[in-house]
Amino acid sequence: GAGVSQSPSNKVTEKGKDVELRCDPISGHTALYWYRQSLGQGLEFLIYFQGNSAPDKSGLPSDRFSAERTGGSVSTLTIQRTQQEDSAVYLCASSFGRYYEQYFGPGTRLTVT
Amino acid sequence: DQQVKQNSPSLSVQEGRISILNCDYTNSMFDYFLWYKKYPAEGPTFLISISSIKDKNEDGRFTVFLNKSAKHLSLHIVPSQPGDSAVYFCAARSGSGTYKYIFGTGTRLKVLA
C-alpha cells in the first residue's frame, strides 16, 4: 500500500516490560513524526526525524522513551520499563517536508497492565 | 499549558446545514494551521490548511478562516453530510523553522440525517 503503516496495531504488555513500535512511512517522505494520544487528550508530539536525524526530541516524556530511524525510512519507537501511564495510541506520520501536510498511520494501541 | 484549544468536545448538526468548528491558540508565533479529520480506528487525515498570511482558504465544502488578532481559527463545512461525522483536530506549527505541530484535543462532529 502507499500509506503509512504501523505495527503492531495492538499491543498489550505487562508493566516493566520493554516494547517496540514500528512505523513504515510513505516512500520518499523525508520527515517522520511520532505522536501519542491518551484517552480524552489531543495528539501529543513526541519526536520528529528529518532523514535519519532527530533535531527535536523535546516531546519524549522521559528517558525510557527512545526512537531511531534507519535508511531514511523505517522508524522504531522503543519504550523501556513500561508504566501504566504509557497506555495510549501511538501515531506515526510522515511528510515530504515542513511545507507539506502530514500523513498518519492507523496507530498502535498500547495497553500496559 | 494547552497552546491550541478546541473548547467544544462535541457538536451535532443536521444534514445539509453548516458545521462550524472552532479553535483558539495562544502563541502568536504560529505560522501555519491545519485541520485533520479522524475516523475511529484510523489515523487522522489531512483536510485543509491555511498560512498565517491569509485569512481564508476554501476547498470545496470546507473553508478555514483565520483571525490572527483574535488568535482564532474556524472550519466551516457546508453543506454538512453524514459522512462528515468524525473527530476534527486543529493543529498549528510553531514557526517556519520547525516541523513541530501542536494539536488541539479535537471536536467530535455528528451530522444527523
Instruction: From chain B, pick out residues whose CB is under 8 angstroms from the CB of A32.
Output: none
Confidence (pLDDT) at B70: 96
Say which CATH number the domain at B84 has: 2.60.40.10
Q: Which of B23, B99, B103 to mutate to test the interface with A (most CBs of A within 10 A)?
A: B99
Q: Residues of B50-80 as b/e, b for ≥16 C-beta within 10 angstroms?
A: bebeeeebeeeebbbbbeeeebebbbbbeeb
Q: What is the number of helices (H) and of strands (E) in chain A?
A: 0, 11
Arithmetic mean of pLDDT, A79-105: 90
Asked whether residue A98 carries a pLDDT value surpassing 80, the answer given is no
- CATH second-level architecture of A5-112? Sandwich (2.60)
Distance CA A62, CA B14 (A): 45
Q: Which residue of A has its CA nearest to B95?
A: A98
pLDDT at A1 over 60: no
Segment A23-79, tens digit of pLDDT: 999 998 999 999 999 887 888 989 989 888 887 788 899 999 999 998 889 999 999
- Could A106 and B46 be called an inter-chain contact, meaning their C-beta atoms sit closer than 8 Å? no
Q: For residues A61-93, b (16+ Cβ closer than 10 Å) or e, as one string?
A: eeeebebebeebbebebebeebeeebbbbbbbb
Tally the domains of chain B: 1
Query: Mean pLDDT, 10 residues at a time, over chain B (113 residues)?
Result: 89 97 94 93 92 95 97 98 96 76 93 95
Q: Which residues of B touch A55 (CB under 8 A)?
A: 99
**Counting beta carbons within 10 angstroms of the beta carbon of residue A39, is it exposed (0 to 12), middle (13 to 18) or buried (19 or more)?**
exposed
The partner residue sitting opposite A107, judged by closest CB among B43, B102, B104, is B43
Q: Are A29 and A85 in contact (CB under 8 A)?
A: no
B46 closest CB neighbour out of A31, A58, A101: A101
Of A45, A58, A101, the CB nearest to B34: A101
User: How much is the pLDDT for A100?
Assistant: 73
For position A78, what pLDDT does the model report? 97
The domain containing residue B42 runs over which residues? 4-112
Give the minimum alpha-carbon distance from A43 to chain B in angstroms, rounded to a whole number: 6
Structural domain boundaries in chain A:
5-112
